[in-house]
Amino acid sequence: MKIQNIDPWKIKVPKVRITSDFDPEILEMFQADIEKVGIQQPLLIAKSGEDYWVIDGLHRLQEAKQNGYKTVPCIVQEMDLKELQLRNLAVNLMRGKTKVSEEALVIRDLYENHGCEIEEITERTGISRERVEKLLKIGQCPHEVWQALDEGRIKVCHAYEISRLPDRDAQLRVLRLCEQYRPKCAEFKELIDETIRMIAEREVNEPGVAVEQPPKVPTAECHFCHGEFPVQQLSSPIMCMGCYGYLVAAIQEVVREREEKERQLREQAEQVIGGEKR
């Protein structure tokens, strides 16, 4: 492709874009290299009408302006802002070290303002459909969730689960729990499921609201966990007394572990919705 030399002050920076982050040491080396040998790698620029927009090379553009360069080498391609953002996503994500919040904002802008469907975003950028859908949902979270995500204190899976909660106060309370305990994604999903269930249950059982009870299904008590189950879900296997003893011990251990896990989930869920009761 032909390289053009363009005045850096004529090149615009899109308001919504992602930028690769440098570690301070790498940034210092980058700046020293440009000061010593100049800009060797051309910037990737989009030309839309009479405007020039940077796709890739923001750090080089900033250094050029800082050092008073009259021109910078550029590879220029004709494209609109939608195409520009798709290229910006693809180029910078391959390099890593980008802010998740910026990635989500670009995806949201493409989806809401440029009519870009999820399938097109995934095909043109290489981002998985699951991640695109999660980032669109996370876009509704408070700023504090975004900050924790960008700083690596929580993961995308955590932020997505937080976005499922119905109000901001609950989201912030569960964010603090997530930062404190750093749960695995599957465990955190269980906590959010339990919290949502408890919130829905409390709304249904509000004082003064009559709740119609469904007809009862015939049940019986399980010998091991003492829970009530529909009779068609119960069975009675034939076994010797020795195997029966092993089975009882094993089941009791599983029941204890399950009860402890449920207790922890209830306590954490109560912390999330506890503020609403006050």
The identity of residue 201, as a single letter, is E
Is residue 214's pLDDT more than 50?
no
For the segment 70-81, the average pLDDT, to the nearest whole number, is 93
For the segment 163-192, the average pLDDT, to the nearest whole number, is 89
- Residue 212: its pLDDT value, please? 41
Q: At what angle do helices 156-163 and 143-150 cross, to 10 degrees?
A: 170
Task: Report the C-alpha gap between 234 and 108 in whole angstroms.
Answer: 50
Task: Report the C-alpha gap between 94 and 88 in whole angstroms.
Answer: 10
- Residue 207: its pLDDT value, please? 55
pLDDT tens string 235-255:
666 667 677 677 777 877 877
Is residue 146's pLDDT more than 80?
yes
Of 10 and 221, which is predicted with more confidence? 10
pLDDT tens string 5-44:
999 999 999 988 888 777 788 888 888 888 888 898 999 9
The identity of residue 39, as a single letter, is I
Q: For residue 16, which phi and psi values (nearest 5 degrees)? A: -110, 115
pTM over 0.75: no
Is residue 211's pLDDT more than 60?
no
The segment with the largest mean pLDDT, out of 13-22, 74-83, 209-218, is: 74-83
Cβ atoms of residues 140 and 163 within 8 Å? yes
